[in-house]
Copies of this chain bind each other. A is one copy, B any other.
Amino acid sequence: MIAVLKSSATKEQIEKLIAWLKSKKLAVHLSEGEFCTILGLVGDTSQIDIGLVEGLDIVASVKRISEPFKRANRKFHPDDSVIDICGLKIGGSDFQIMAGPCSVESKEQILGIAKSVHASGASILRGGAFKPRTSPYDFQGLRADGIELLLEAKKQTGMPIVSEIMNANHLPMFEQVDIIQVGARSMQNFEMLKELGMTKKPILLKRGFSNTLQELLMSAEYIMAGGNNNVILCERGIRTFETCTRNTLDISAVPMLRELSHLPVVVDPSHASGIARLVKPMAMAAVAAGAHGLMIEVHNDPQSALCDGAQSLTPEQFSETAERIRKVREAVAA
């Protein structure tokens, strides 16, 4: 971290600041120039609140040289993290497709979709039991019953399951869920992240719709700081001025996150576009850009889906998409 001091800073003020920084166990490297004084700070600067230093009267500006995240940082963990999900691996050269309905609606529905996507190449079953909805009057999910139905589908197909949590109090219900999803709106629910950090569950952490990659990695850091390193990052589209699509898939997030972090990176092309016919090209693009996995909404009857039908593929469309994904993966790996 580098702090540039104002030329008006007095010697006494500078010494006071240096003493404070040293009390934080940082080595301070002072460089007095003719036009400004620069402090170079060496040590664990991730524990320094940059806003505090910027707020000081004698400080003109502060710049981090190293990122404020450590456990998620590739610099301190050069190899790709590979996360194990009931024997399936994701990360490094291991690729997985998660597929299933936006919402679990009935036993028949979830079992039908699970068997179908399993046969076409999906290895993990997704399904929402708790649904964050903008309106209190919209369908809020089957909740506990939805989790039960997912577990039944897991039993019958052998597929691990992933489902979203909205309240840390619900953790006991997620005991047999294989991957716990943190949705975009909860990415900065820091209290919940802390509790997830105290479990050992793989966490699928979705990027908030207006959050930066650094903020996403800081939220991963919250989970990892508690001792849980099983974090999977998920790009699911950001809010932009474009109105043709529900969100805008930030495809550059894939190589950028892989550069900044060792954690696996997954893309959700269904929420990113909100339009079923864009899912195939977006999924192909995500794989071409280096994604470790995909999360795709599939519904046996999108026209009657209780939620997000407009963005769900039919099982037939999913099968065709999965086939195309295989081809692009070969082109990338070749």
Residues on A close to B: CB < 8 A? 2, 4, 27, 29, 31, 33-36, 38, 40, 42, 46-47, 49, 51-52, 54-57, 60-61, 63, 65, 68-69, 132-139, 166-169, 185-186, 188-192, 194, 209-215, 218, 221-222, 225, 238-245, 248-256, 259-260, 272-273, 277-278, 281-282, 284-290, 302-303, 305-311, 324, 327-328, 330-332, 334
User: How close is A275's CB to chain B, nearest CB, in angstroms?
Assistant: 8
Q: A40-B36, A331-B327 are known contacts. Are A46 and B135 too (CB-CB below 8 A)? A: yes
Q: Is the CB of B307 within 8 A of A278?
A: no
Q: Is the CB of A309 within 8 A of B212?
A: no
**Residue picked from A52, A243, A245, A311, most chain B C-beta under 10 Å:** A52
Q: Is the CB of A61 within 8 A of B63?
A: yes
Q: A251-B249, A327-B334 are known contacts. Are A52 and B210 too (CB-CB below 8 A)? A: no
User: How close is A141's CB to chain B, nearest CB, in angstroms?
Assistant: 11
Cβ–Cβ < 8 Å partners of A166 in chain B = 189-191
Q: Is the CB of B210 within 8 A of A241?
A: yes
Decide if the interface of chain A is mainly helix, strand, loop or mixed: mixed
User: How close is A282's CB to chain B, nearest CB, in angstroms?
Assistant: 6
Cβ–Cβ < 8 Å partners of A243 in chain B = 212, 214
